[in-house]
Amino acid sequence: MAAQKSTLGTIRLILWAAVGVAVLAGGLILSGELARTGPGLPGAARIGGPFVLTSHTGQRFSSERLAGKPYMLFFGFTHCPDICPTTLHEVSKHLEALGPAADNLTVLFVTVDPERDTQELLSQYLSAFDKRIIGLTGTAEEIAQVTKAYRAIYEKVATTGEDYTMNHTATVYLFDAGGRLRSTLTWQEPEETRMGKLKKLLAG
């Protein structure tokens, strides 16, 4: 009888301890999530991640360089007739309009076509746009890794013979100094809206 009572007591104790651990763990996960998400977009903590690529000037570029400063990142390729040069042109216009205020903004154009977009070609191509734009290329594996980190999609589309074009995520991501996704730009929205988002991002 006494032995049975003490067994029940032990079970009760273990159960309560389990509840305690669950509550504590839940709280920790939640606070961690909140800390990472902060004022960014919902789910923003899951977008972005470490990468090392090669810049159009030939230097290795690590995502560590993005810490503590706002940055803009978008994917594209130079064998792109429309959306990529348009994005680069519009971004250049915004940078010019923002002037020195945008010097603190890191702007990254990441190729999804590393096979054709060599460092030399990126360097040549980007000479037509704002000098603050950094072109990034890498090995097929490095590009696969960075696109995965940013939840971007890219795929080769066969055209004629051996030739191909690319489908890719065309979103322009805006991250704050804490590395949180704050907003995105699209070319369907008015220029004023885009400028507003950029000014807000730069204001912190």
Partner 1 sequence: MTTIWKTAAVLTMVAASLFGRSATAQDYKVGSIEITAPWTRATPPGAKVAGGFMTITNTGSEPDRLIAGSFGPAKRVEIHEMAVEDGVMKMRMLETGIEIKPGETVTLKPGGLHVMFLDLEAAIAQGAKVVGTLTFEKAGQIEIGYEIAPIGAGKPAADHGHHGAGSGSAVQR
Give the nearest distance from C-beta 19 to partner 1 in angstroms.
Answer: 42
Q: For residue 61, give the amino acid letter.
A: F
How far the first Cα of the chain sits from its last, in Å, is 67
CA pseudo-torsion sign 93, 61, 151, 126: positive
Binding site for partner 1 (CB under 8 A): 78-83, 85-86, 88-90, 92-93, 96-97, 121, 124-129, 153, 157, 159-160, 163, 165-171, 186, 191-192, 195
Of 87 and 106, the one with the shorter C-beta distance to partner 1 is 87
Give the nearest distance from C-beta 149 to partner 1 in angstroms.
Answer: 16
CA–CA separation, 198 and 180 (whole Å): 14
Of 65 and 130, the one with the shorter C-beta distance to partner 1 is 130
Give the nearest distance from C-beta 18 to partner 1 in angstroms.
Answer: 43
DSSP of 136-155? EE--HHHHHHHHHHTT--EE
Of 82 and 141, the one with the shorter C-beta distance to partner 1 is 82
How many residues are recorded in the chain? 204
Of 161 and 204, the one with the shorter C-beta distance to partner 1 is 161
Give the nearest distance from C-beta 64 to partner 1 in angstroms.
Answer: 27
Give the nearest distance from C-beta 195 to partner 1 in angstroms.
Answer: 7
**CA–CA distance from 23 to each of 26, 27, 35, 117 (Å)?**
5, 6, 18, 51
Of 65 and 79, the one with the shorter C-beta distance to partner 1 is 79
Q: Name which of 26, 136, 121, 135 is nearest 79 in CA terms.
A: 121
CA–CA separation, 118 and 182 (whole Å): 30
